[in-house]
């Protein structure tokens, strides 16, 4: 059986790095598009191809897809993972901030889907890494929340649009995952952590999760592996929580 090919945006750190590792271990050709390589070469060697990418640009996604097709001749999975969060009250949100978070989190996913669908054949799948913030609001978080609600809508709509082509589109909605990026974002004076990111995350899990803990990046990655597999062949248009039971649905 020929190796399958996956493209992962933002697959160089945080949840994205866990997703990259999972697909390497599953035997995929892995292409990572991100601004910086980080430690990908040291960690994975030639098992991962890094391509400098600014996900805000349509052309960058098209270049990612072309590189994957040129090397492997196929595109099976495209994962829109790149994004960021930042807490700000609405009075501190300006054009520059709003334009950037929309361009990164939402337009980045749009362009990724568009580029992937230009090359994907029957059996392919797109996975959008969203958040439970795309299902419920929280204070001082309106910009991020809005992008994730929109991403969830994009997932549902595109699944209906391309299902007749045998292509599935799903979203994954993690709760708080203690990555370096989240810990940094929680330093914001407007965030819920009040300066203690690690303490807030631990307390949040105990008080809100059915399992009394929060998921790991590896558990988010495991959901992506499932959604990319034949085992999920009847699953599309879903935004699936990976949250240890924080937000029952």
Do the strands 5-9 and 168-174 form a parallel or antiparallel pair, or are they unpaired? unpaired
Contacts of residue 180, defined as CB under 8 A and 6 or more positions apart, other chains included, come to: 13, 14
Query: Residue 145 in contact with residue 138, Cβ under 8 Å?
Result: yes
Residue 107 appears among annotated catalytic residues: no
Interatomic CA distance for residues 63 and 85, integer angstroms: 26
- DSSP secondary structure, 160-227, as one string: HHHGGGT-EEEEEEE-----HHHHHHTTSTTSTTTT-HHHHHHHHHHHH-TTSS---HHHHHHHHHHH
Neighbours of 124 (CB within 10 A): 23
Catalytic residue among 144, 187, 203, 212: 144
For tokens 């958040």, name the residue.
131
Q: Could you confirm whether 148 is annotated as catalytic?
A: yes
Query: Which of 47, 107, 148, 160 is an active site residue?
Result: 148
C-alpha 208/C-alpha 106 separation (Å) is 28
Cα–Cα distance for residue pair 85/88, rounded to 1 Å: 10
Residues ≥6 apart with Cβ < 8 Å to 94? none
Which residue bears the tokens 């990724």?
112
Q: Which CA distances in Å does 46 have to 32, 41, 66, 227, 233? A: 12, 7, 19, 25, 30
Which residues are catalytically annotated? 144, 148
């Amino acid at each position: 059986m020929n190796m399958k090919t996956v493209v992962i945006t933002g697959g160089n750190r945080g949840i994205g790095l866990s997703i990259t590792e999972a697909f390497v271990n599953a035997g995929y050709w892995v292409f990572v598009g991100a601004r910086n390589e980080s430690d990908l070469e040291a960690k994975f060697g030639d098992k991962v191809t890094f391509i400098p990418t600014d996900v805000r640009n349509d052309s960058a996604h098209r270049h990612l897809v072309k590189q994957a097709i040129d090397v492997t001749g196929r595109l099976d999975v495209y994962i829109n993972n790149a994004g960021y969060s930042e807490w700000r009250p609405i009075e501190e949100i300006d054009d520059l901030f709003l334009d950037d978070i929309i361009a990164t989190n939402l337009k980045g996913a749009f362009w990724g889907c568009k580029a992937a669908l230009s090359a994907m054949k029957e059996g392919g799948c797109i996975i959008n890494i969203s958040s439970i913030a795309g299902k419920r609001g929280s204070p001082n978080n309106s910009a991020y929340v809005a992008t994730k609600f929109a991403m969830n809508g994009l997932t549902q709509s595109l699944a209906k649009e391309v299902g007749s082509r045998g292509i599935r589109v799903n979203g994954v909605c993690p709760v708080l995952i203690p990555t370096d990026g989240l810990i940094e974002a929680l330093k914001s004076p407007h965030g819920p952590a009040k300066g203690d990111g690690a303490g807030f995350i631990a307390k949040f899990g105990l008080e809100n999760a059915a399992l009394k803990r929060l998921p790991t990046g590896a558990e988010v990655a495991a959901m992506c592996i499932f959604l990319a597999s034949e085992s999920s062949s009847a699953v599309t248009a879903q935004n699936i929580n990976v949250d240890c039971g924080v937000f029952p649905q």
